[in-house]
Amino acid sequence: MKTALHNTVKVNNRSRQEELQRIISTLANKDDEIQNFIETLNHTLQNVQINTAKVLLDLEQEFGTLQTTLDEMKDSMANKIKQEQAYKSQELQNQLTICSNALEGSEELLEYANRTLSTKDSEAFTKAAKQIKDRVTMAPAFRLSLKPKISDNMTHLMVDFSQEKHMLKSLKFLPVPRAPEVDPADCLVADNCVTIMWSISEDDKKIDHYILEYRKTNHEGLPRIKEEKNWDIIDYIKTTEYTLSGLKFESKYMNFRVRACNKAVAGDYSEPITLETKGFNFNFDGTTSHQNLKVDDFSVEWDSSGGKGQENKVKGKENKGSGQVSLLKRNMRSGTPSPKRTSVSCRPGSGRSNRDRFSGESYTVLGDGVIENGQHYWEVKSQKDCKSYSIGVSYRNLGKFDQLGKTITSWCVHINNWLQASFAAKHNNKAKAMDGQVPDRIGVYCDYDGGQISFYNADTKQLLHTFKTKFTQPIIPAFMVWCGGLSLYTGLQVPSALKSFQKGNGELSNSANSLITLAQ
The answer as to whether 491 is a domain residue is yes
CB 277 within 8 A of CB 252: yes
Q: What is the SS3 assignment for 452?
A: strand
Residues 340 and 407 in one domain: yes
Residues 352 and 213 in one domain: no
d(CA 320, CA 307): 20
Phi and psi at residue 41, in whole multiples of 5°? -65, -45
286: burial class by Cβ within 10 Å (0-12, 13-18, 19+)?
middle
In order along its 520 residues, the chain shows pLDDT tens digits of 667 666 776 777 888 888 888 888 888 888 888 888 888 888 888 888 888 888 788 888 888 988 898 898 888 888 888 888 898 899 888 888 888 888 888 888 888 888 888 887 888 888 888 888 777 777 777 777 777 877 777 776 667 778 888 888 777 777 888 899 999 999 999 999 999 999 988 777 788 899 999 999 988 888 876 666 789 999 999 999 999 998 989 889 999 999 999 877 788 899 999 999 988 999 999 999 999 999 999 999 999 887 554 344 434 444 444 443 333 333 333 344 444 433 333 333 344 444 468 999 999 999 999 999 999 999 999 998 899 999 999 999 899 999 999 999 999 999 998 888 899 999 999 999 998 889 999 999 999 999 999 999 999 999 999 999 999 999 999 999 999 999 999 999 999 888 777 665 544 443 333 343 344 3
Residues 292 and 322 in one domain: yes
Residues 307 and 391 in one domain: yes
Residues 346 and 271 in one domain: no
Angle between helices 322-334 and 308-318 (to 10 degrees): 150
CB atoms within 10 A of CB 415: 22
Residues 413 and 296 in one domain: yes
Residues 208 and 270 in one domain: yes
Boundary (domain end) residue, out of 222, 252, 276: 276
CB 222 within 8 A of CB 272: yes
Contacts 24+ apart (CB under 8 A), 35-39: 36/224, 36/225, 36/226, 39/224, 39/225, 39/226
3-state secondary structure 465-513: EEEECCCCCCEEEEEEEECCEEEEEEEECCCHHHHHHHHHCCCCCHHHH
pLDDT recorded at residue 311: 45
CB 468 within 8 A of CB 515: yes
What is the number of domains present in the chain?
3
The answer as to whether 373 is a domain residue is yes
- Please measure the distance between the N-terminal and C-terminal CA atoms of the chain and give it in whole angstroms: 61
Phi and psi at residue 162, in whole multiples of 5°? -60, -40
Residues 143 and 202 in one domain: no
The answer as to whether 159 is a domain residue is no
The answer as to whether 166 is a domain residue is no
**CATH code of the domain covering residue 202:** 2.60.40.10
Residues 237 and 124 in one domain: no
CB 307 within 8 A of CB 354: no
CB 253 within 8 A of CB 216: yes
Radius of gyration of the chain (CA): 47
Residue closest to 358 by CA, chosen among 444, 287, 454, 433: 287
Instruction: Give me the residues paired with residue 66 across strands.
Output: none
Task: Render the burial of 363-387: b for 16+ CB within 10 Å, e for the rest.
Answer: bbbbbbeebeeebbbbbbbbbeebb
pLDDT recorded at residue 442: 96
Structural domain for 132, as ranges: 41-154
DSSP code string of 250-311? -SSEEEEEEEEE-SS-EEEEPPPEEEE---B---B-GGGS-TTEEE-SSEEEE-TTTTHHHH
DSSP code string of 367-418? BS--B-SSEEEEEEEE-TT--EEEEEEEETT--TT--TTSSTTEEEEEEE-S
pTM beyond cutoff 0.75: no
CB 498 within 8 A of CB 452: no
CB atoms within 10 A of CB 259: 18
432: burial class by Cβ within 10 Å (0-12, 13-18, 19+)?
middle
Residues 110 and 222 in one domain: no
Residues 290 and 232 in one domain: no
d(CA 247, CA 253): 12
Residues 496 and 385 in one domain: yes
